[in-house]
């Protein structure tokens, strides 16, 4: 009969892969794409270099894969936060809170998505455009709902969402430059929420 790996073997492989992916996020965030090496990644993950090549043929493939998984993680977190609330102010605050929480507690994730690899990995261009479009769509849903209820001014919802996420990114990057981002996080969430409601001309209570 053909060979089939046991559950324990698969779990060990999955654990090694997870450790290597997490290590790669940290290394890329600390050193940047160009300076980071495969040896840096395997050393950070405490795995053999052969383990790297078992999963990935080169650094670029790993980076693009990391980018995709990280983008999915961020989008899912923001979408779930927004969907858990009923009114636009609540949805806006929850979505921004989810983003800021990830930035504060997993800063390497945000660094990877917003800074890492830009201009360095040609194959990342299309992936980044797809990520930004999907993220904008997440924010378009609550805005479109509010517009249909005449709670915000008539506007180009797509452009509004694109402008908002660009503003969120700028504030989050500046927040991460603080010695203790967590101290300023609550204020940032409140101010971004109020800014968003003003920007869309929210008329509800």
Residue ranges of the chain whose pLDDT lies below 50? 1-3, 5
CATH 1.10.10.60: which residues of the chain?
A: 1-56
Sign of dihedral through CA atoms 54, 68, 122, 176?
A: negative
The whole-number pLDDT of residue 1 equals 46
- The residue among 153, 9, 127 whose CA lies nearest residue 63 is 127
CATH architecture of structural domain 1-56:
Orthogonal Bundle (1.10)
Task: Fold for 59-199, please state it.
Answer: Tetracycline Repressor; domain 2 (1.10.357)
CATH 1.10.357.10: which residues of the chain?
A: 59-199
- The residue among 102, 71, 89, 75 whose CA lies nearest residue 199 is 89
- What is the chain's percent helix, strand, coil content, to nearest 5? 80, 0, 20
């Amino acid at each position: 009969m053909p060979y089939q790996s046991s559950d324990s073997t698969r779990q060990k492989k999955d654990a090694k892969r997870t450790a290597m992916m997490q290590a790669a996020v940290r290394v890329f965030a600390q050193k940047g794409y160009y300076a980071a090496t495969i040896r840096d990644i395997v050393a950070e993950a405490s795995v053999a270099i052969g383990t790297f090549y078992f999963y990935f043929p080169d650094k670029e493939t790993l980076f693009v894969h990391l980018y995709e998984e990280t983008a999915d993680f961020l989008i899912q977190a923001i979408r779930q936060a927004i969907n858990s609330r009923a009114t636009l102010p609540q949805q806006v605050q929850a979505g921004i809170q989810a983003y800021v929480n990830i930035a504060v507690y997993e800063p390497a994730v945000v660094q990877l998505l917003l800074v890492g690899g830009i201009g360095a990995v040609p194959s990342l261009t299309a992936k980044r455009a797809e990520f930004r479009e999907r993220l904008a769509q997440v924010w378009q849903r609550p805005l479109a709902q509010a517009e249909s209820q005449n709670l915000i001014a008539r506007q180009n919802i797509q452009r509004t969402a694109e402008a908002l996420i660009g503003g969120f990114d700028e504030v989050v990057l500046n927040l991460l430059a603080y010695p203790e981002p967590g101290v300023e996080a609550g204020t940032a969430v409140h101010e971004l929420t109020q800014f968003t409601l003003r920007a869309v001309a929210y008329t509800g209570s």
